């Protein structure tokens, strides 16, 4: 691993000032992605500013019955929070279906939002990769791309976003609160994740030194009946081939409100707005679910190895909707 300097920030302001003032520096939270990528030579900070002592670990209800998660709350603590389990099961489930208990004990929620892709060409440190070395080209477009995205891709990048909980948060319209050299911001999570376009190296709208301090989930009564379905080759400890976050409010057999998002298939956690639009106001039937799923995947672009993700995602959406509406056991 490259030589590193290390400092522990004792206040949020100090952390922001340190990283904001030194382009060679980076925040260090749980480290599960960061240390890995530094060791691989993919990211190259010279200074790590350890923010783990900062008071950003609370998980609390907001006065309007939303949920506020401190950026440094560990995945485990959020997943096992009784409040989260009761009111936002999709968040708890998504967390518990990600990584391993050891990694969940380490990884912070803010860090999870900043998780990098698992594209092997990005991680190998040598292949052309626009995300790692802008302008060098995308090795995955014509390469081994079984794990890659089919939605939100560009000619310059088809890397899938690996997060599970991000999918749940996108479905629930979470807001990312940050503090930075320019002050405080609240960024809708769907805007927090950027599509690759022609600049896949830019993944978030954060300026240097801007720190995620909390994630807020607005009050969402229908989330009490929500679930996260995840499909992968292994039964555990693996990123999704396809995953679905779903919450549905059915009244008199019709879909009054629905939240749907997909993991494993998008270059960002993918809010299924086409499907939601197709479902809202319509009948809560398998046929309607299938049509909505087809609508969502209609713009999908397959590459050599990942065409299967399109039917898999459609079927996964139908199953998730069916289970959340009809209460099937998972």
Tell me the C-alpha to C-alpha distance, in Å, between residue 245 and each of 166, 215, 255.
10, 18, 16
Shortest distance (Å) from residue 7 CB to other proteins: 4
Shortest distance (Å) from residue 321 CB to other proteins: 13
Pick between residue 78 and residue 241 the one whose CB is nearest to other proteins: 241
Shortest distance (Å) from residue 318 CB to other proteins: 8
Shortest distance (Å) from residue 87 CB to other proteins: 21
Query: What is the distance between the alpha carbons of residues 75 and 81, in angstroms, rounded to a whole number?
Result: 10
Pick between residue 235 and residue 252 the one whose CB is nearest to other proteins: 235
Cβ within 8 Å of residue 102, ≥6 positions away:
none
Cβ within 8 Å of residue 298, ≥6 positions away:
274
Pick between residue 191 and residue 298 the one whose CB is nearest to other proteins: 298
Shortest distance (Å) from residue 259 CB to other proteins: 22
CA atoms within 13 A on the CB side of 55: 2
Shortest distance (Å) from residue 329 CB to other proteins: 9
Pick between residue 134 and residue 311 the one whose CB is nearest to other proteins: 311
Tokens of 14: 């100090």
Pick between residue 87 and residue 314 the one whose CB is nearest to other proteins: 314
**DSSP structure string for 225-257:** GEEEEEE-SSSSSS--SEEEEEEEEEETTEEEE
What is the H or E stretch that residue 13 is in?
A: helix 12-20
Pick between residue 53 and residue 186 the one whose CB is nearest to other proteins: 53
Q: Contact 171/245 with Cβ under 8 angstroms?
A: yes
- 3-state class (DSSP) for residue 137: coil
Rule CB under 8 A: which residues touch other proteins? Answer: 1-8, 28, 31-32, 35-36, 39-41, 46-48, 50, 52, 76, 99-103, 105-106, 118, 120, 124, 126-127, 139, 142-144, 146, 231, 233-238, 241-242, 305, 307-308, 310-312, 315-316, 319
Pick between residue 174 and residue 292 the one whose CB is nearest to other proteins: 292
Shortest distance (Å) from residue 3 CB to other proteins: 3
Query: What is the distance between the alpha carbons of residues 247 and 227, in angstroms, rounded to a whole number?
Result: 7
User: How many residues does the structure list for the chain?
Assistant: 330
Tokens of 153: 């891709």
Bridge partners of 152, per DSSP, are none
């Amino acid at each position: 691993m490259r030589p590193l300097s290390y400092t522990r920030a004792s206040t949020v302001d100090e952390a922001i000032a340190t990283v904001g003032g030194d382009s060679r520096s980076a925040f260090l939270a749980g480290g599960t992605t960061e240390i890995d990528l530094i060791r691989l030579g993919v990211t190259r900070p010279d200074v790590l500013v350890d923010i783990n002592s900062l008071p950003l670990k609370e998980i609390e209800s907001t006065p309007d019955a939303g949920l506020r998660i401190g950026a440094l709350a560990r995945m485990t603590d959020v997943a096992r929070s009784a409040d989260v389990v009761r009111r936002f099961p999709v968040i708890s489930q998504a967390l518990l279906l990600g990584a391993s208990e050891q990694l969940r004990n380490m990884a912070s929620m803010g860090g999870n939002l900043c998780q990098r892709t698992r594209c092997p060409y990005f991680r190998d440190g040598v292949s052309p990769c626009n995300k790692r070395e802008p302008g060098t080209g995308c090795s995955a477009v014509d390469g081994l791309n079984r794990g890659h995205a089919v939605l939100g891709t560009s000619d310059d990048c088809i890397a899938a976003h690996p997060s599970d909980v991000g999918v749940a948060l996108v479905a629930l319209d979470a807001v990312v609160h940050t503090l930075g050299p320019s002050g405080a911001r609240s960024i809708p999570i769907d805007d927090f994740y950027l599509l690759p376009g022609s600049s896949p190296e830019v993944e978030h709208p954060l300026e240097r030194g801007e720190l995620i301090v909390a994630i807020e989930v607005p009050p969402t009564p229908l989330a009490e009946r929500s679930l996260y379905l995840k499909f992968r080759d292994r039964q555990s400890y693996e990123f999704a081939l396809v995953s679905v976050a779903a919450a549905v409010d059915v009244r008199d057999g019709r879909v009054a409100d629905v939240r749907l998002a997909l993991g494993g298939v998008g270059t960002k956690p993918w809010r299924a707005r086409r499907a939601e639009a197709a479902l809202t106001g319509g009948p809560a039937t398998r046929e309607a679910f299938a049509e909505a799923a087809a609508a969502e995947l209609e713009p999908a672009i397959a590459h050599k190895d990942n065409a299967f993700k399109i039917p898999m995602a459609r079927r996964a959406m139908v199953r998730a909707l069916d289970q959340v509406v009809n209460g099937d056991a998972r």
